[in-house]
A and B are shown apart, each in its own frame.
Chain A
């Protein structure tokens, strides 16, 4: 009886600290994976519309420069194939996903002028912010107390603000391509993490 009386306040404290029920945790994973899928589709449509708006000369320039371009987010070490993802821990996958989202939160504002089809100017940035907050909650649930959240989620990729000073179409296109790739990565990571947490929802 005394133990039960002690458990109740402990549960209350845990709930106040943001403790999430397992069912709620699964729901967050599923929700995050769905939102990432939608964000990736937005990025694909955005870059396709941008390509269609360019003239022939700009397309040639894009083709020649793209082979040599690098994404600023390459500094974040991330799995590149299925085996590497299978070997990574859940927290690592979540952390890499969180870092990528944070890295793109500021540069995505450069896409506001290129969005079409009745999308709000900062629609991509807003979605990134929402996903970042949800992913933070999920990560906090899986931290075992080894380190704080802030320490665990540190060192995101830094974007060079001078990259787009000249406004060259090739640079904008390259930035869009990098964004599309990173969003797809985060989507894959979160889906793998979801299936790892809820195997029943990923039956073959």
Chain B
């Protein structure tokens, strides 16, 4: 029994000794967590105690100022709560560094915290703003939220000791992100265009000019009533108005579609040909269309009168004219329209050049004509004499066919018979332009010298009509003016003479000498022509006198243009 009690006693003593040896230690090192000043007049420091060592531990805060070596102990450990030290206004100096240390002490020992240097100016963290209120206000722009608050207590902003700036944050109740706004030194803020029917949460905080932000104020809630925004209502009105305008325009366009179509797409005027029926064209009956083009009564029966062709007939004086009615149709002369002075025949065929040639060849002509006259009584055949062809273009070479490629080709070959004279001669002298025919009458031989020496004249004829053999039927203009019957150009039946002149009684003065110029192909026809003419009486025997005032051309023909 005694052994048990003693054993228990010894074991308990040992246990307590061991326990005290393990758990009882000096206190752990405390740690100063923060020091804050709410208004830059007082401040508070908090610390975190360490392990107490199993023993009751006391904590003390000691501080000293920068400018002195004196160590002061905190005078108020209760105002700010446990493990804190409150420095009142008397103990707080601004713009001075505090060196603060916390000491933990227990029965086993003491432990010091790390020293902390504190300048009150840079540890100012004011209280949260007070009386944060949110109201829904409305103006002409629409409803908005007006947030207002008060400065935190104990903050002396009126004297300028402390300057506070504020910050606000707001969000809808169902949102996660806050919307922050820097407000400055003012104490009101407006939130415009809130969501209709939404619930907003608002918080405010503040900060001194060189300090720390305060905590956020308690959340303020506000319910926004349902409304239609001004902008949305405006867009609704604009949309309705636009739709109405569109409907009205569509209706108007539908009513006036024809006139609009005519205005925008005017019909293109189609070609209008008198006599053409568009319906016939559409029907596709070309025969009817072409028949419609036919104008009744056209050409007129007397269309022959419309065919007016003024031809200049040239013939060399040196070439004797052989008249043969049949052969005459084979083509002899080419007649030239007076309006076609140089139509495709080259410069050699121009009237001007012709006149020059005639002027040059005149002496030759005169000599040749004189030879012919000398032989007149006995000469009954034409001996076409060709002058030297040097002055002639190649187209008029003797070995070339008569018919040449020229604009005159369209005209049928026409034979112009000189006035009928048994002594008519067809002489060929210096070649003039092809087709130049200068008939002369033998009766004028006596005065042939003078006649020959005088410039040859031209006879103008009028194309009366074209027969079926493509022969031009000509009529001298002089006969027409005289009112004489027209003579056909059918060489075999009519006599032609060189017109010397016209008397005052409108009588043609014809020359009996015949001087024509033919190329080699005409040699056959010339004599034939001559023969034809010899068999027929002369229509007019030209007197030997040329009336005064008359102008004879170089070839002896009367220039009717002088009338």
Contacts and interface: CB of A to CB of B under 8 A. Distances in A.
Interface of A: 37, 40, 44, 66-67, 69-70, 74, 78, 80-83, 85-86, 181-182, 184-185, 188, 191-196, 199, 202-204
A44 B527 CA distance: 141
Given A37-B209, A74-B67, A184-B121, A80 B160 contact: no
A83 B209 CA distance: 20
B158 A199 contact: yes
B21 interface: no
A67 B117 contact: yes
Interface in B45-79: 66-67
Interface in B115-155: 115, 117, 119, 121, 151
A164 B264 CA distance: 94
A195 B121 contact: no
Nearest to B65: A80
Given A66-B117, A184-B210, 13 more contacts: A67-B99, A69-B66, A80-B94, A82-B41, A82-B94, A181-B95, A184-B121, A188-B94, A188-B161, A196-B160, A202-B158, A203-B158, A204-B157
B40 A184 contact: no
B161 A82 contact: yes
A85 B119 contact: no
Determine the main DSSP class of B at the interface with A: loop
B92 interface: yes
B156 to A, nearest CB: 7
Interface string B77-121: 000000000000100111111010000000000000001010101
B159 interface: yes
A25 to B, nearest CB: 16
B161 A85 contact: yes
B66 A86 contact: no
Contact of B160 (A78, A81, A202): A202
B115 to A, nearest CB: 8
A204 B151 CA distance: 7
Contacts of A83: 89
Contacts of A70: 66-67
B163 interface: yes
Nearest to B119: A181
16 contacts: A66-B97, A80-B95, A81-B93, A82-B41, A82-B161, A83-B89, A86-B159, A181-B95, A181-B121, A184-B121, A184-B210, A188-B160, A191-B160, A199-B158, A204-B157, A204-B158
Interface string B190-221: 00000000000000000001100000000000
Contacts of B41: 81-82
Contacts of B209: 37
A119 B249 CA distance: 68
Given A70-B66, A83-B89, A195 B95 contact: no
B160 A194 contact: yes
A191 B40 contact: no
A78 B93 CA distance: 11
B331 to A, nearest CB: 114
A202 B210 contact: no
Contacts of A184: 95, 121, 210
A85 B89 CA distance: 13
Contacts of A74: 67
B159 A195 contact: yes
Contacts of A195: 158-160
A195 to B, nearest CB: 3
B71 to A, nearest CB: 12
Nearest to A83: B89
Nearest to B160: A195
Contact of A192 (B66, B92, B159): B159
B186 to A, nearest CB: 10
Contacts of B97: 66
A44 B117 contact: no
Contacts of B119: 181
A80 to B, nearest CB: 5
A196 B93 contact: no
B159 A196 contact: yes
A192 B210 contact: no
Contact of A191 (B67, B151, B163): B163
Nearest to A79: B94
A7 B158 CA distance: 37
A85 B209 CA distance: 19
Contacts of A82: 40-41, 89, 94, 156, 159, 161
A84 to B, nearest CB: 9
A108 B210 CA distance: 21
Nearest to B121: A184
A192 B160 CA distance: 5
B69 to A, nearest CB: 9
B114 to A, nearest CB: 10
A195 B185 CA distance: 15
A124 B94 CA distance: 23
Q: Which 6 A-B pairs have the closest CB atoms?
A: A195-B160, A191-B160, A192-B160, A80-B93, A204-B158, A181-B95
Contact of B96 (A40, A67, A80): A80
A181 B95 CA distance: 6
Contacts of A181: 95, 119, 121
Nearest to B41: A82
B89 A81 contact: yes
A82 B210 CA distance: 17
A114 B115 CA distance: 29
Nearest to A80: B93
Contacts of A69: 66
A16 to B, nearest CB: 32
Contacts of A86: 159
Nearest to A86: B159
Given A66-B117, A83-B89, A202 B96 contact: no
Contacts of A80: 93-96
A181 B120 CA distance: 11
A199 B66 CA distance: 35
